[in-house]
Amino acid sequence: MLLNNYSFTKNKEIYTLILLVLFSVSIRVPIVFMFGDTGLEYEWKTLVENLTEYKQLAWKNCEFEYSNTKICLDDGFLLPNLWMPPLYAYYLYFFTIFDLGEQNYILLILSSQILLASISVVVFYKINKFFFTKKLSLYSSLLFSLFPLHAYACSQISSISLQIFLIILFFYFFFQLVEKRNFLSTILFSFSGGLLMLLRGEFYVILILTLFYLFFLKVNVRNILLIILITSITISPYLIRNVLIFEKITIIESLGYNLWKGNHPYAMKNSLVGGSEIVDENFQKQLDAIPRDKFLRINRDKLFLSKVIKNIKEEPTGHLILFFKKVMSFLLIDFKSTDQNYYNPFHYLPVLLLGITSLIGIGLSNKKSYKLNYLILIFVAYVFIFSTVSILPRYKLVILPLQIIFTTVLIKKFIYRHE
């Protein structure tokens, strides 16, 4: 009898998760048809076309762009990519093997993103179960699925859908690793971390913090070294490619450019969400003087980094104020945004409300819980990282799972107080 009850409970949860996936798919399909991208654009179009034609992740002619000016290369010269992380470009390139027409090709990509988003909702449910009851976990997952910015993201050709899927897996495998400390959890955690390093340039900071946290939790040093090994193996093909081409160990060279983009005089006086890309005449001449060789990306990024350091030294107080303004815009909303449709109430009202409730939830969270403390650490790290650059609205999706968990902490406190 006890076994039958267990089986029924287990099956009931499986049916619930299947319905959760179907529900997530059903709300995203019409969004894709109404608002979905109809073709590749910008850097993704360039990289995929060059992968298809030349079998290289590279730029040619006048495809490589900084600010509002294109950098023209010598005819026949392919500049190896070191600007965009490679994973999403290869993800898009993978779907070209089906040899579909452009519309069907795009539809296939967006359909895959719908599937990833829907699966991530189920994994998010499992993460919530580390903290809450099944009922609260289900409500939290429904909120994650329905959140307008998250539902809309899969309709766009953007790496954010893949990023959210992988970050959810990363969190889940982290908790599995700490609780079970078995070999499979270690492999899955390490592999998801490696993929995220190939997807987002800032993730290596998150991974380093996580490894320190595992050490703090007294996870066996051999396990930590194994994580480093498996992660290194995961990213090694791209690392080897870059060592052979650029003679240095690197995945991406964009730190200087991204810092400069969010920290110069125009950015301080105008939009915080999408920093302007304006350079003075003398600086532009320095950029134009850099040789058009394979080290172009590296040398330009060094120049951007030196420029942003100079900007900050010249006006440290102004840049500190700018940083805190960006913190508030990232956590809540940017009142000076020039982004199209930013002030659509379906966008800014949920973002603002969740920003407020999640901060309250962090304040009320159990500070003795290593799981919640880890999520707070990652939350603070992401807020700090993105507040040093120019912030695009989709960047907020990175902290969305954390915001929803801390909002659910607040709801849990409210429910227990009134029971």
Rounded to 5°, angle at Cα 273 from 270 and 277: 60
What are the tens digits of pLDDT across the range 273-323?
Answer: 555 566 678 888 898 899 999 999 999 999 999 999 998 999 999 889 889
AA identity, residue 170: F
Rounded CA separation 360/347 (Å): 21
Rounded to 5°, angle at Cα 400 from 218 and 181: 25
For the chain, the structural domain boundaries read 1-155, 159-251, 253-419
Rounded to two decimals, what is the model's pTM?
A: 0.93
Rounded CA separation 160/165 (Å): 9
Both tokens of 88, joined, read 């999403």
Nearest alpha-carbon partner for 163 in 152, 155, 148, 153: 153
Q: What is the dihedral of CA 22, 15, 120, 57, to 10 degrees?
A: -70
Hunting for tokens 């709801």 — which residue is that?
411
Residues of the chain with pLDDT under 70: 1-10, 65-69, 268-279, 416-419
Alpha carbon 168 to chain centroid, angstroms? 11
Residue 154 CA: distances (Å) to CA of 103, 117, 212, 331, 397: 16, 7, 33, 22, 12
Instruction: Provide the pLDDT for residue 265.
Output: 74
Instruction: Provide the pLDDT for residue 3.
Output: 46
Nearest alpha-carbon partner for 183 in 217, 232, 236, 227: 227
Q: Are 303 and 256 in contact (CB under 8 A)?
A: yes
